[in-house]
Amino acid sequence: MLVNIKLNGKSVVSDIAADMTLYDFVRKHGCYSVKCGCETSNCGLCTVFLDEKPVLSCSVLAVRADKCSVTTLEGIQEEASEFVTFIADQGAEQCGFCNPGFVMNAIALFRENPYPDENEIREFLSGNLCRCSGYEGQLRGILNYIKAKKEKELQ
């Protein structure tokens, strides 16, 4: 099947198998930030934006993304760069495997609600698996980022 997917702003035309997942497609095209930890839609590591909405790429057929825009962490480096330092400052990236999924989902949250409260953050990120840190470091990093963003806007 021939698909035309706008991947991180660039048109990619590819002949794919009907059962190829979006996860396999983005990895095949060099987007290695996208990880697969479960293949059952439970871990959030494979999160990408499909037409600006977060989806689990292991659960979406690549053909569904035909004529759509797909964005991975590689495509939003500038948007993510300031935020990820707050996560790192909390030691919440011990092995780093879950970070891309957390970052993609946090950015989706910030786009939807620039100033979420702690409960909204916990709920939005509940689908992300992290075996190293217990999630508290990520939560502190997000809260510190929001606080710094508010302070910056007041200046």
Q: Tell me the per-residue pLDDT of 58-108, one tens digit each, with 9 for 90 and over.
A: 999 999 999 999 999 999 999 999 888 888 888 777 777 778 888 999 999
Question: Cα angle vertex 7, ends 109, 32, to 5°?
Answer: 80
Neighbours of 55 (CB within 10 A): 20
Task: Give CATH 1.10.150.120 domain extents, the chain.
Answer: 75-154
Distances (CA, A) of 3 to 18, 28, 59, 66: 10, 14, 17, 5
- Which of the four pLDDT bands, split at 50, 70 and 90, describes residue 114? very high
Q: pLDDT tens digit string along 100-111?
A: 888 999 999 999
pTM recorded for the entire structure: 0.91
Query: For residue 82, how many other CB atoms are within 10 A of its CB?
Result: 12
Q: DSSP letter at 61?
A: B
CATH 1.10.760.10 fits 75-154, yes or no: no
Please, which pLDDT band fits residue 6 given cuts at 50, 70 and 90? very high
**CATH 3.10.20.30 placement within the chain:** 2-74
Give the DSSP H/E element, type plus range, for residue 10: strand 10-15
Q: What is 2-74's CATH number? A: 3.10.20.30
Residue 88 one-letter amino acid: A
Euclidean distance between CA atoms 99 and 88, whole angstroms? 10
